[in-house]
Structure 1
């Protein structure tokens, strides 16, 4: 038995690390080398990426391709560029997880085209907007820096599949371009998979609404360590050094590192897809750590702080390191204890906060830690649904506005007709030669419920835009029709009856007597 136990222990020790290091394998992916005539591979990536031609997904199909006059990196030697709008349609399958996200990366490297006769003579001064899924305006009047860059977004995937659309719209008199496009599903543990703490003045936790937002990665830092390139990240991310954003003199913080294996506990939602080991292998420690980031005034951000305690102290001996965290304009965590999150040394974990940048001034976002440590830091801006694009509306936006306008016209026409009928009844007291009864009745809610058998569905005689109409019989044998509105929380039991003649009692109930004639009830 002892031998079997030893063998099992050895198997677990060998197999688990290999499983944890298994390469990320999305169920679909697109890597497009825009405007290129041949594919571009990155064999040093893990997993390997190969960017292929974008022509099969382009609309219009004749959107110009341009090539660089110099020799930039191979992925940026060509681009798709136009002075008119162009888009990509990328098919993707349905997802069993309606709250999952897609990772979208757009690569930009402005250059002078090799052929001056090309329709876009110079993309180095381009300015344009980008929207996705006809719902998210992810970039507006954007002009890529001369050194190039990658814009990364996380887009809600939804349960249904379809076509992922990316639309580029140039500003007036300018052009739009893109060098490369990446699209693949994010690992399920990557976003909104852990406790999220709102930091004042954000207000209450609104996780369900935040999950419908897109996110834009604006900062991703390896704290205390060097730049981490795509080859060392299973999601092909780049982590910059935190030096340019750190506040204070160099001697105010201590950089520590470890060569021991980093532990990720999948039962807690942690994995190497959340952040690679190299990020957790370095950290800053100090009595007061602070970082400052330029932001968009009054914008909301998801701020993720990565931690890894190299010396977790047992609760039997002591509590270990304890510190406070401030994010944005408020207190994010007080008395944060790593050993309450990690049960062993070198176990990685992270904390998520939603904070708002100040509305006044430059909108700088600040992160500070008192008497603690930090290994990594990510800041993502929340982007709500926005059907507007610069100078125009998306097709879906036009449809929604048109339908809303039509619905408003129909409701207005119904109200006008109904009001005219009421005025005619009040003026003539007759409809089609038949006398109408307009006696004002003051009846309690209890009697109304008794007359309609508590608004039983068998007494339903009409459905209106603001409620259902029920027939009933009062205790004296008088038949009545009662409208019960569907939304009136200020009244008892959310019950209100609209005015069918001209009477209404203090409970908000109105009734009309039914004569032998047919009363025109709203339907």
Structure 2
């Protein structure tokens, strides 16, 4: 049986809007507040909860609605988009029904948000979810024929448009920081909402009627933290946080490093641990910041860690908040739970801090579980470990390949006439020039002058013309920052236009970094920055258009023809696939794990790029495999140094280039220290050229390390 929640909302709105506003409050377009099991209206936190009248298949207990069979509420949705759903549970014994014995599930539009749920104490379960239908249903289902479900109150209301963005969050883990996209597809269940450094905040003090608890019980070492507070209202500004993101009181208090405690060294972190359970899950983490401790700009630099991984290095809030102190800001992350069963958040001073300015702050924390995230739940422990190992070996392999390519380039260049210093590594020195220079002729872009990066500015009107007002047919890609369009500037220069989410402050650090870095350098292997636009709250970057697409598409994951056999001045690619590919079969998901199995069978040749089959000498491939295997040894003492890795890669390259007596001794493998006999290059080499040995001799001595 279902109850339509439509006409009763009209009476609610008439009463609600007659109340004096607490502040410039957020007014949701959809706003349903239901007092379940009651025929009368109830006031709570200065809001009117409307009685739900009677419902077939249910029992009214004055302050609760008890369901003896599956039953639902239906809400008429006026605004499609993100909504907050709160379910209030407060069990009590009514004689016929002891609500502590209830066991039930709750579904939102057919999706289970609570499963086999039993309530032992008063609790509010809050969810943030996308509602993309006009008729939104919340169904309560008892888990047995003689069982029952109950609920005391229900809230369903529209969320502010800027509460959560699809893009901008960073996924933290062993693979480093990665973009986490399409957050709107996730159903988020609030686990913690913390007012760091402050007291508990009730819904009366929050424009979205949220409860914020104190952080005191979650501090690992209380003596490491010291409360900071201010009586001044935060400096809210467009592009930063708003009162809907968090109330004033969250940004007016913080925890900072307790440098007054002489038992603590100057370099230490403040750490909080939030228990989340031992199950495999992914969490959305939002950290709130407001610099209320600094006396001047660019004084506070600190690092942020989540579960031991670096989440933000050298965070300078004054830069992110457009050079304004005490301005609220927040940063979003996604993180997978680990075996500890807690989410650990730490802040500590950066190496960029001065001795007097060493400090770190945190104002607020929100942790939400991704209820419908299934990626982690389908992975076995073996694959989870494999992903970690794969990340390590993938990174090391890439580094090794990069170093190998660099050495080959150096060898080739040594045989040529020594070029000018500015050109020796392929870099082009910058000079002031026209913004719309013809990139195909290698003309460099304008470098920052006395007026900053004004020479790179492109008007929003120009970009609208170049992209046919952001024509959907011109979209060529998307990423964490936003959507990328193909465009043509007024001098027939083809460009790629990367547009951030309009009005959003997400991605601001990347936006600023791209301008700062790419405007100063030019390299034939790097896409060039043509210009940028920051008008009308837009964050737009304009790049040189690459006709043939990114290098990744030519290496793997597309139907493009394979790259040619590599020459000495080109980078070698061995397996032509990503380090981790969850779309493959279980045994092949992790490249490192898969490769080690074949390496131990002595058949590494079975997994290399099929276009390289028969072109790699077995001795060279074996040396390469032995080196990679040593690099991922469980104990650090068993792993070779970087100098040893470089030497062995050089040795593998020499084995590939020429046959020699050294091949007869290949069975010796890598020694315990990871070192092969260090013979002069000329003994196995290429016409007596010892260029490679000269490079390695510098890397392998104590100064080189």
Common topology (TM > 0.5): yes
Structure 2 equivalent of residue 84 of structure 1: 69
1:306 aligned to which of 282, 285, 288: 288
1:393 aligns with: none
Secondary structure of 2:249's match?
Answer: helix
* Residue in structure 1 matched with residue 107 of structure 2 by the alignment: 131
The answer to whether the 8 Å contact 1:329/1:355 transfers is no
Counterparts in 2 of 1:496-507, with a 5 A limit? none
Say which of 187, 190, 194 aligns to 1:214: 187
Q: Which residue of 1 is the match for residue 151 of structure 2? A: 178
State the structure with more CA Rg. Answer: 1
Q: CA deviation at 1:21?
A: 4.4
Higher relative contact order (CA 8 A, sep 6+): 1
Asked whether the 8 Å contact 2:269–2:347 carries over to 1, the reply is yes
Partner of 1:293: 274
1:289-318 Cα distance to aligned partner (Å, 9 max, x none): 111111243211111111111244555xxx
TM-score for the superposition, normalised by structure 1? 0.61
Which residue of structure 2 lines up, in the alignment, with residue 340 of structure 1? 319
Give distance in 2, aligned partners of 1:283 and 1:155: 29
1:258 to 1:289, Cα distance in 2 relative to 1, 3 A:
same
> CA, structure 1 residues 261+108, in 2 after alignment: closer, same or farther (shift >3 Å)?
same
Name the structure 1 match of 2:204.
Answer: 231
* Residues 310 and 191 of structure 1, relative CA distance in 2, 3 Å threshold: same
2:336 paired residue number: 356
The equivalent of 2:345 in structure 1 is: 367
From 233, 241, 258, give the equivalent of 2:214. 241
Q: 1:29 maps to which residue? A: 31
Kindly indicate which of the two structures has a greater share of residues assigned to helix.
2
Q: State how far apart, in whole Å, the 1-side matches of 2:288 and 2:182 are.
A: 24
Contact preservation (8 Å) 2:281, 2:337: yes
Matched, 1:259 2:231: yes
Is the 1:202–1:355 Cα contact (8 Å) retained in structure 2? no
Equivalenced residue count is: 337
* In structure 2, distance between residues paired with 1:272 and 1:142: 33
Asked if 2 retains the 8 angstrom alpha-carbon contact of 1:307 and 1:373, the reply is yes
Structure 1 residues 204 and 256, CA gap change in structure 2 (3 angstroms): closer
Distance 2:271 2:373 in 1: 32
Distance in structure 1 (CA, Å) of the matches to 2:367 and 2:250 = 15
Counterpart pick for 1:52 among 50, 53, 65:
50
Secondary structure, counterpart of 2:100 in structure 1: coil
CA change 1:185–1:218 in 2 (3 A) is: same
Q: Is the 8 A contact 1:31 1:51 kept in 2?
A: yes
Match of 1:163 among 132, 135, 141: 135
Which of 115, 123, 126 pairs up with 1:149?
123
CA–CA distance in structure 2, aligned partners of residues 278 and 491 of structure 1: 56
Question: Over the residues paired in the alignment, what is the CA RMSD in angstroms?
Answer: 2.5
Pairwise CA distance, 1:201:
4.2
- Structure 1 residue runs without a partner (length 5+): 1-18, 68-77, 387-487, 494-523
Q: Matches of 2:166 and 2:280 in 1, distance apart?
A: 25
Structure 2 SS opposite 1:278: helix
Q: Is the counterpart of residue 325 in structure 1 residue 327 in structure 2?
A: no
Distance 1:139 1:329 in 2: 30
Which sections of structure 2, spanning at least 5 residues, go unmatched? 1-20, 258-267, 350-359, 375-556, 563-705
Q: Secondary structure at the match of 1:211?
A: helix
CA spacing shift, 1:347–1:206, aligned 2, 3 Å: closer
Task: Give deviations 1:310-345, integer Å, cap 9, x for gaps.
Answer: 244555xxx311111111252111111111122222
Contact 1:103 1:155 in 2 (8 A): yes
Structure 1 residues 370 and 208, CA gap change in structure 2 (3 angstroms): closer
Structure 2 Cα separation of the partners of residues 489 and 378 of structure 1: 39
The structure richer in strand per residue is 1
Q: TM-score of the superposition, structure 2-length normalised?
A: 0.45
Q: Which residue of 2 aligns with 1:451?
A: none
CA displacement at 1:94 relative to structure 2: 4.2
Q: Secondary structure at the match of 1:224?
A: coil
Aligned pairs for 1:56-75 (under 5 A) are: 61-67=56-62
TM-fit CA distance, 1:155: 1.0
Pairwise CA distance, 1:491: 7.5
3-state DSSP of counterpart to 2:102: coil
Q: Closer, same or farther in 2 for the Cα pair 1:385/1:80, shift >3 Å?
A: farther
The CA distance in 1 between the partners of 2:558 and 2:108, in whole Å, is: 39
Instruction: Determine the structure 2 residue equivalent to 1:191.
Output: 164
1:261–1:489 Cα change, 3 Å: closer
The residue number in structure 2 matching 1:93 is: 78
Match of 1:283 in 2: 254
What displacement does 1:62 show? 3.8
CA shift for structure 1 position 171: 1.9
Deviations 1:95-118 (A, max 9, x none): 3xxxx31000000000011xx3x5
